[in-house]
Amino acid sequence: MKSTHDIEAVHLISDEPDRDPLLKTGTGESDADSSVGRKMNRPPEPLSRRYLRVLAVVSLYWFVSISMVFVNKRLLSGKTDFDAPFFVTWFQCVISVIGCYGVYGLTLMFPDYIEFPRPKLNRTTCLKVLPLSVVFCAMIGFNNLCLQSVGVSFYYVGRSLTTVFNVICTFLILGQKTSMNAVISCGVIVFGFWLGVDQEGALGSLSMLGVIYGVMASLCVALFAIYIKKVLPLVDDNIWTLTLYNNVNASLLFIPLILLWGETPSILGSPEVVRFSFWFDMMVGGVLGLAIGSVTGLQVKVTSPLTHNISGTAKAAAQTLLATQINAEIKSLWWWVSNAVVLIGTLMYTRVKQLEMAKK
């Protein structure tokens, strides 16, 4: 089971807009003059239509991302009597693998509208991708354990150190220095995280284990975003091919984790395994986990990486507000201040990186 920050980690390593592989953008012609000629002959798109398209894509991203978090929360620690987070994650990795083949089938049926790389597996490539897949499993494993232990309203703050770890790991692993303004922005995020943990404790709803899981998940997201650069060339720089390899490897790696975590009795003894609603939620979670990669790339394509980051930050605020309303949670003023500080720090970092990119 993947969450938005896991898939979006890919965009932390790139300053260029991503092309959505699910959308056909050409007719197969590779000649530059033909492409230019088509653009010149094409009438200009009305501004209102462009705004509507952007609004539709952003709304779709918000819907998929927020829905996935709530579905995952329900599966992990909601109303279901099923304490097997690694099994849930394994099942949805399998669904993602099947989904890749399903989407490729759609490209054969509708080649003029959908483009998706042909799923193919090579054992040598699987082994080369395996180290990244270990980080991938740790990333989604810690993320789901965090989501199981904390409420959705606190989830964003609990997972807010990804940007900070990205700066630290980039320096330690890649030797890339960060500007003082970026460091200050990270300091604001850390302060907001500390304040959020303090206020959650004051309300009596703090899970220190959940916070630890959140910190570890943030670290793994940062490591995944950095190491993915080294692995992408092995799969022709195709993020969907890498998604396939990652989920195939994860489907195998999670099996011993399920056994070591002692989830077998819960799986066999839970009444949920005979309920249609439970398996429906599992299927929906798997489909959303696969879809988030596409809608994330699509949002970057129709807007920009900066707008995508701002949209993701605003989505997190809306998600927090929605969770407090759905669960009828009463939060203190300083609890809300902690969320605002994290959001401000994230926006500050995004703006700093934008200005640095503009100078380059």
- The fraction of the chain above a pLDDT of 70, given in percent, is 86
pLDDT at 16: 41
Confidence of residue 18 (pLDDT cuts 50, 70, 90): very low
pLDDT at 25: 36
Mean pLDDT of 231-237: 87
Helix H, strand E, coil C: the string for the chain is CCCHHHHHHHHHHCCCCCCCCCCCCCCCCCCHHHHHHHHHHCCCCCHHHHHHHHHHHHHHHHHHHHHHHHHHHHHHHCCCCCCCHHHHHHHHHHHHHHHHHHHHHHHHHCCCCCCCCCCCCCHHHHHHHHHHHHHHHHHHHHHHHHHHHCCHHHHHHHCCCHHHHHHHHHHHHHCCCCCHHHHHHHHHHHHHHHHHHHHHHHCCCCCHHHHHHHHHHHHHHHHHHHHHHHHHHHHCCCHHHHHHHHHHHHHHHHHHHHHHCCCHHHHHHCHHHHCHHHHHHHHHHHHHHHHHHHHHHHHHHHCCHHHHHHHHHHHHHHHHHHHHHHCCCCCCHHHHHHHHHHHHHHHHHHHHHHHHHHHC
Q: What is the pLDDT of residues 53-108, one digit of tens each?
A: 888 989 999 999 999 999 988 888 755 567 888 998 999 899 989 988 998 888 88
Mean pLDDT of the chain: 82
Q: What is the pLDDT of residues 310-332, one digit of tens each?
A: 788 888 889 999 999 998 888 99
Q: Does residue 185 carry a pLDDT above 90? A: yes
Q: What is the pLDDT of residues 25-51, one digit of tens each?
A: 333 344 444 444 444 456 666 777 888
